Structure 1
């Protein structure tokens, strides 16, 4: 088992200017999205490389605004009611994937209106590059030692002791003394082995989903199908990995005694993705390739 390295939150310092790891991950995510979208635009007659800059701009606004607003609405609504200015306190952290995804979809809808395209033509074009952002984002979560997984007694070599979880570990030890058999003392803190769920998500929602979507979208597919596969792929990955991820302290299990907020928000993605996929193939409209129709 491993002890989580206590990374310096500052990845790069240039005099008074400090670049934090999470900010660097966002930068890498946007750079990867731009490069991949630029490459995709060279393979589509109805797309130009000039459109890509606009596309990434709308997408970046959607990620940042939607991610923050979604986090506050989904996870900190009580705080918002007590202090509406909390929405603007971005320096305190807090971003939601589901909020960011809704924000990106709204941004893509505005982009589609500007360029007189079908919204799903734009969605199908952009979603294959989204998992790279998830990959870098989850790596950033791991570096920061946040969003760690649940305690496990499985003895897997990759289980990790997170010093950042010391407070929660102590509460679990007090509630269940039998866990003392798993305990490790690190610098005076009593820690429990946890799943590095951030890396599970980076692998499943990021790398694997990217590879599959990139392959799937490289051939003509019915309009909406690529978007549907993304919804299904992310929704299923997130729903399953939530069983290994520690529920947010202020949320816990919110339904049926086992369902987390992340699972509750992912379930509609799975349902909508499944319905869209069936509808896409039944409708059979193609935006590019030999079967292209508009």
Structure 2
């Protein structure tokens, strides 16, 4: 059994301003996306550095607005309706990946329309840049001692503050590895070779859905929701299942429509 190494939610202070670990993790994720995007733009003629930085601005807005609104709507609407001001307290945690994904997709659609580019051409470019942000986000959950796992007797069991005396899976770290590191490795490798349009997006959707669905077996269901279906499915599972099936559909569509045409040439 491991003891949780208690962290202060504040990384440091700048005078009266507290800089929190949770916020820093988002900055690290955006910085990683910026670095990787500049590298990736070298192999995508339509994406200049200036265009990518403009696109990244759209994406950041989509992540923050969509992630927060998604959490409010999917996970704890009644509590936020009782205290509307707390909706804006994102430094306390409470961001939904699925809401953030919807926010990013809307942002990408707006950017693609403005630049007169095909929607999936833009999404295929962006997809490999997302997992590092997921990695840092889950590390932020761990540092915040939130979203801990189910009780366990496994050697990796950890006693989290506020979660009772029993050891629990450090499921935040499991998700950091699965949704972050492993998914990034697969996507970066897969997208390093020209693929039919929609294929990279399909691998991302299916890969994230599978990683999140698996992690939910180790993650404690939200206390105010519990199991939302069949005394088995959590909200995270319910929201991930459509991603798995849609990702598989995108892959089938990509290779059925253009089995031998790389995405870079399928204009």
- TM above 0.5: yes
Cα deviation, 1:171-227, whole Å, max 9, x if unaligned, reads xxxxxxxxxxxxxxxxxxxx1011100000000000000011000001010100000
- Structure 1 residues 128-181: Cα deviation after superposition (integer angstroms, max 9, x where no partner): 01000000000111111110000012xx32211112212xxxxxxxxxxxxxxx
Runs (4+) off by over 6 Å: none
Q: Is the 8 A contact 2:202 2:250 kept in 1?
A: yes
Change (3 A) 1:89 1:161: closer
Q: How many residues align?
A: 265
Indicate yes or no: 2:262 matched with 1:286: yes
| Structure 2 match to 1:79 | 79
Give CA-to-partner distance per residue, 1:51-110, whole Å, 9 cap, x none: 111111000000000011101110122235555555445455421110001000100111
Asked if 1:5 corresponds to 2:5, the answer is: yes
Does the 8 Å contact 1:79/1:86 carry over to 2?
no
Aligned counterparts of 2:69 and 2:185: Cα–Cα separation in 1: 30
* Alpha carbons 1:225, 1:277 under 8 Å: kept: yes
User: How far apart are residue 32 of structure 1 and its match?
Assistant: 0.4
The match for 2:156 is: 158
CA distance in 2, matches of 1:229, 1:15: 45
Q: How far apart, CA to CA, are the structure 2 residues paired with 1:84 and 1:140?
A: 24
- Structure 2 counterpart of 1:173: none
C-alpha deviation, 1:47, in angstroms: 1.4
Give TM-score, length-normalised by structure 2: 0.95
Based on CA coordinates, which of the two structures has the bigger radius of gyration?
1
How big is the alpha-carbon RMSD for the aligned residues of Structure 1 and Structure 2? 1.4
Distance, in Å, in 1 between the alignment partners of 2:179 and 2:109 is 23
Instruction: Tell me the SS of whatever aligns to 1:193.
Output: coil
How far the C-alpha of 1:293 sits from its partner, in A, is 2.5
Identify the residue that residue 100 of structure 2 maps to in structure 1. 100
Q: Which runs of 5+ in 1 are unaligned?
A: 167-190
1:167-246 → structure 2 map (5 Å cutoff): 191-246=165-220
* Aligned counterparts of 1:89 and 1:207: Cα–Cα separation in 2: 28
TM-score, structure 1 normalization: 0.87
Aligned to 1:271: 245
